[in-house]
Structure 1
């Protein structure tokens, strides 16, 4: 028996640091269970390693670049991949879907103003634990604290306005697939709001802590000005099939 990162390092012929990174991202499983870097495992333990998909360009013109971000991919790494472009919005590392960039400073200022005035349409898919039988509006203020990582909590006195609209689409193994629409964009808003009604998102390792292969949250559609972008849902459904 040895630490999982050491076993993975030897088996994949990679550095200990790279092995720890893969384990911390939640890419390594054994018998359906996510393996942590500190876990003790046998050298003979069967391991399944998920690969990180590549971002896909959905649309590009002189003002905007729309990309479908895969899960486990850091939003800020898109600025490295697409040089001279700056992010217009961000997604959590484990969230997939539409993300926007620009290299036009004037356009960036206009988009920031659209977000600030809640004029951007943002639609997500989420797989929530348990059965949600009807449409709901969750109107709870959110307070975010930032240290080594950001974490949010419901705080109706000190928090900022946050409204989440959810619509059940279908049941999947006694869990509910939701269409989620938000005007505000507080840190971890959808994750926290769904956890606040006791229906956390599958794979959320911060709120609700429901084990799954990935965080089952996908930015499906963004509309602003005369643009509308939709992301392929393949990276979302793939983990249900697995």
Structure 2
């Protein structure tokens, strides 16, 4: 897991998107979920993050324990990613001194944030063709949750994207390409190694602020 520090922690404004990149949608276009057959798995969370100055958004982690809730997925619908090559994401975490971030399913593991994308029309069964509808970014691009600013950069053709059943894209590039042509959700998942979108809570007040999300 890597975390790339940004020079200044005081910058609040959203960076302008690079030439050729898709503009990040507003906070209300994002969904805190996932919502599967009417059930929202991000318990104790609002339906969407709230907007911040400069066009970004933020949410507060549930605290101080799992009974307060846990955040799993924060995603939006980008449309097709055909012709796009990479994701570049910057965020900041602010937390009270002594805060720990705890995976809801595996509390003994390190809490992480990772990039994620999902083909439109997924049944959430992971059976048959649907095992190639959800894709998680390479393990090397995951970040441990910790106070400060960080970024994640992932190539969309990276052979280490992993399907929901842990198959690498290198073994089925056609399935990854088909998903990229018809993406229905993309964004961030919170959890741990082995349970990337299975939820995280904090032991003290903590906030996650998305500064930029570029699809280039």
Does TM, scored on the shorter chain, surpass 0.5? no
Give the TM-score normalised by structure 1.
Answer: 0.29
Higher helix share: 1
The structure number with the bigger radius of gyration is 1
Higher RCO (CA-CA < 8 Å; seq separation 6+): 2
